[in-house]
Amino acid sequence: MCGITGWLDWQRDLTEQGAVVTAMADTLKRRGPDAGGQWLSPRVGLAHRRLIVIDPNGGLQPMVCSVGGRAFAITYNGELYNFLDLRRELEGRGHVFESRSDTEVLLRAYIEWGPACVEKLNGIFAFAIWDEGEQQLFLARDHIGVKPLFYAQRGSSFLFGSEMKALLANPLVKPEVDMDGLTELVSMGVFRTQGHGIFRGVTEVLPGHSLLVTRNGVRVTQYWKLDSHEHTDDFAATAQHVRELLEDAITRQLVSDVPIGSMLSGGLDSSGVSAIAARAFRQEGRQLDTFSLQFVGEERDFRANPMQHDLDAPWAKRVADASGTNHRVILLDTPDLLDNILEPMRARDLPATGDNETSLYTLFKKMKPDVTVALSGESADEVFGGYPWFYVPEMRNLNLFPWQAIGVGKVENIVRPDLLDQLNPVRHRAERYQQALRQVPRLAGESAEDARTREIFYLNMTGFLPYMLDRKDRMSMAASLEVRVPFCDYRLIEYLWNVPWEMKFARGEEKGLLREAFSHVLPEDVVRRRKTAYPLNHNPAYLEGVKAKVREIAEDGTSPIFDVFNHEKILASAYFEGQYEAGPIALKNYYEYIIQMDGWMREYNVSLV
C-alpha cells in the first residue's frame, strides 16, 4: 500500500517544479514510509510513497515503461489480487516483465488494453498513468472505493492525490471551505456525500469510476455498477456460492512478501475471515497471527447497550483457540486515546468521530511492529445486512438515511443561529437522501417491501460503507499498515446484491446467510453470537478527559470554531454535571466532535469563504 500524487499542467514546465511535487508526496510519508520517488516531464509530475508489500526490489515507483518509443508512467496505490492471472495473459500477448510486482502488471495492462484495463482488475486500487505519446492522464479507483483518490482543477492545472493533504501542499489549492462545503460538513458529518471533498473545488473520484484528462478537459466514466436482476439459486446453492467466493477472496488476499496477520474481535465477520486464513496458513505449515483490541478496565466499566451486547475478549480467545492462531491482545488505556485524539483528523484531513477512530489508529500502530498487512472483517454488515436498520421496522421505514435514526451525524443544535438558516441541514440531508434514492438500481415487479430493502442496501453501500472504508484506510495507513477487506471483493457484492432478504436473514438472524457460509469453519456458539459493534472505551476517566479539553477550548474563546458554533452553548456544556439525557456515549461523542473541529480548523488553517 502506498500514497500517490501528481500534477498535470498544460502551460507551465513541470520539470522545474520538482520541489513542489516532492512536498506533495512528503505529506503521504505515513502511507509509504519505505521509499519514495518522482518522475517529471514538461506536462506532468508524478510522485509516490511506498509501503513495501510485494517485490521489494522490483516495484519501485513511479514506474516507466516504453513501448515502440512511447513512454508510459504510473503511480499506483493498492493490490491486485488477480495480478498473477493477468501477468500470464499479458505474457501470452508478448509482454516481457522485468519485475515480480503487480505495479508492472497494471502498467502493461493499460498499455495492452487502454482504459478498458480496469474491467480486468480484481483488487483495491487508485492509480494514475501518463501516456506521453497521447498526452493524456488516466486515473481510476477500485470498484467499491477501498482506496481513496481526490483531485482538483485550477486553471491549466489538474492535481490529484491519495489524500487531500497532498493537494493542499500545492500552492494552487487553498484550505478554503465555502457554504456548500460547510453545509455538507455540518449536515452529513463523517458520512459525507460520495464525491464531495469539503474543501472548495476538491472532488473525490467515485468508486468504480475512471477519469481521462486531456487538453479538451476531464472525461469521467463509470466502469462498474450494480445490476438488479432476479436471483434464481436456492438457499443451499446460494450459501455454497457465497462460501466459495469468500474462500477465494480471503486466500487471494493472503499474498504478501511481508508479515501478514488478521484482525479478530470474536464477532462473526472477523472470526470467519481469520478461520479461513488460519486454515490456509496451516496447509503451508505456518501459524496465523491474529490481533484483538481490549481496553484497560473494560470488565469494570462496560455497560451493555443496543449496539454492544457483551465483551469481545472471551469470544476472540474462543476463535483463536479453535483456529490455532497466535493471538495477541492489544491493550489500550485512556491516555493512549487522549494523547492521540487528533491523529484521526490528521489522517482524514477532516474532523473524525472520536475514540472509535482513535482506538483503531492506536491498535494499528501497536500491530505494525509485528505485521505490515492485516485482513479485516470490515464491510460484512453493509453487504449482508447486519445493522438493526435493515430489519427493525421503526428504523428501516424512516424517510431519511437509516443511521440518522440513532442520531449519527447531527450537530446542528450547536450551530450559530445566524448560520443555521443559511446551512439548513435538515433540507440538505433530505435532498441528499432523495438524490440517493433516485440512483437505486430498481428491479421491475418487486414488492414494496423488497424494493425498500433494496433501497436500504443501496443507501448503506453508498452512504455508510464509504465512511467505514475511509476510517479503515486512513487509520491503518497513518500507522503504515495495509488492511485488506475480503468482503469488498466486487464479485461477492455483485452476487449478494440480488440475493433476497429472506436468505440474508435466514433463521430470523441478522447475517443469517453469512452464518451459514461460515458454519464449516467456526464453532457453533460463535456462529450464533449476536452482532456487537466495534468496541468503545467506557472508562469514565476518558469522558472527563475530553470534557477537560472542551473546557480549554471554550474558556480560551479564540477558536475558529466559534465562527460556526455557538460559544455560549459549548461553554455551558463544558461545565455540565449530572446525567446527560441521551447517555454518556452521546455526551462523549459531542465533546469529541468539538475537539475534532477545533483541531481541524486550527491545524489546517481553514478559511470560510
Residue with cell 466532535: 593
Q: What are the tens digits of pLDDT across the range 147-204?
A: 999 999 999 999 999 999 999 999 999 999 999 999 999 999 899 999 999 999 999 9
Give the pLDDT confidence score for residue 408 in this predicted structure.
54
Q: What is the mean pLDDT of residues 451-465?
A: 97
Same domain, yes or no: 469 and 333:
yes
List of residues 6+ apart from 564 with CB closer than 8 A = 182, 186, 415, 416, 419, 597, 608
Please tell me whether 447 is known to bind a ligand: no
Q: State the residue range of the domain holding 40.
A: 2-183+193-222
72-102 exposure pattern, b = at least 16 Cβ within 10 A, e = fewer: bbbbbbbbbbebeebbeebeeeebeeeebbb
Cell 454488515 belongs to residue: 381
User: What does the CA dihedral 261, 263, 266, 270 come to, rounded to 10 degrees?
Assistant: -100
> In this predicted structure, which of 60-69, 489-498, 540-549, 574-583 has the lowest mean pLDDT?
574-583
31/176 same-domain check: yes
Q: Is the pLDDT of residue 536 over 90?
A: no
Q: How confident is the model at residue 583 (pLDDT cuts 50, 70, 90)?
A: low
Helix (H) or strand (E) holding 47: strand 44-50
Kindly report, residue by residue over 207-248, the tens digit of the pLDDT.
Answer: 999 999 999 999 999 999 999 999 999 999 999 999 999 999
Instruction: Give me the number of domains the chain comprises.
Output: 3
Of 468, 497, 528, which marks where a domain is finished?
528
For residue 30, pLDDT over 90 is answered with yes
Are the C-beta atoms of residues 54 and 102 closer than 8 Å to each other?
yes
**Is residue 169, in this structure, part of any structural domain at all?**
yes
Residues of the chain above pLDDT 70, percent: 98
If asked whether residues 41 and 169 sit together in one domain, one would say yes
349 found inside a domain: yes
321 & 217 share domain: no
Model confidence at 70: pLDDT above 80: yes
Domain at 249, CATH number: 3.40.50.620
The domain that contains 174 carries what CATH number? 3.60.20.10
Contact 288, 295 (CB under 8 A): no
Closest-CA residue to 292 (of 319, 322, 265)? 265
Q: Is residue 201 located within the same domain as residue 242? A: no
Q: Please check whether residues 458 and 373 belong to one and the same domain.
A: yes
CB 299 within 8 A of CB 311: yes
Strand order in the sheet with 136-141: 63-67, 70-80, 123-131, 136-141, 209-214, 217-222
Residue 402 forms part of a structural domain: no
State mean pLDDT over 456-471.
97
Q: Is residue 544 part of a domain?
A: yes
Q: Check whether 105 has a pLDDT greater than 60.
A: yes
Q: Is residue 436 part of a domain?
A: no
Is 562 in the same domain as 509? no
Cell numbers standing for residue 236: 443451499
Helix (H) or strand (E) holding 217: strand 217-222
Is residue 405 assigned to a domain? no
Beta bridge partners of 6: 46, 160
- Mean of the pLDDT values across residues 560-584? 83
Alpha carbons 609 and 599: distance in angstroms, whole number: 19
> Looking at the structure, do residues 48 and 160 belong to the same domain, yes or no?
yes
Same domain for 202 and 276, yes or no, is no
- What is the model's pLDDT at position 232? 97
418: CB partners within 8 A, 6+ apart: none
Weakest mean pLDDT among 412-426, 458-472, 487-501, 525-539: 525-539
Dihedral class, residue 201 (left if φ above 0, else alpha if ψ from -120 to 50, else beta): left
Query: Considering the chain, what is the average pLDDT of its residues?
Result: 94
pLDDT digits (tens, 9 = 90+) for 337-363: 999 999 999 999 999 988 999 999 999
Domain match, 500 and 572 both: no
pLDDT at 306: 66
In the predicted model, is pLDDT for residue 409 greater than 70? no
What are the pLDDT digits (tens) for 418-427?
999 999 999 9
**Beta carbons within 10 angstroms of residue 558's beta carbon:** 7
340 φ, ψ to 5°? Answer: -110, 20
Query: Considering the domain boundaries, does residue 427 fall inside one?
Result: no
- Residue 406 belongs to a domain: no
CB 316 within 8 A of CB 275: no
Residue 274, marked binder: no
pLDDT of residue 56: 84
3-state helix vs strand vs coil in the chain, percent to 5: 45, 20, 35
Assess contact for 406 and 194: CB atoms under 8 A.
no
Q: Of 274, 249, 387, which Cα lies nearest the Cα of 325? A: 274
Within this chain, do residues 73 and 139 fall inside the same structural domain, yes or no? yes
Strand partners, 374: 261, 483
Same domain, yes or no: 563 and 518: no
Single out the residue in 496, 528, 560 at which a domain terminates: 528
- Choice among 2, 65, 117, 488 that is catalytic: 2
| Domain's final residue, options 528, 555, 571 | 528
Length of the chain: 609
Q: Burial level of 314, CB count in 10 A (0-12/13-18/19+)? A: exposed
Q: Is 583 annotated as a binding residue?
A: no
Q: Is 65 a catalytic residue?
A: no
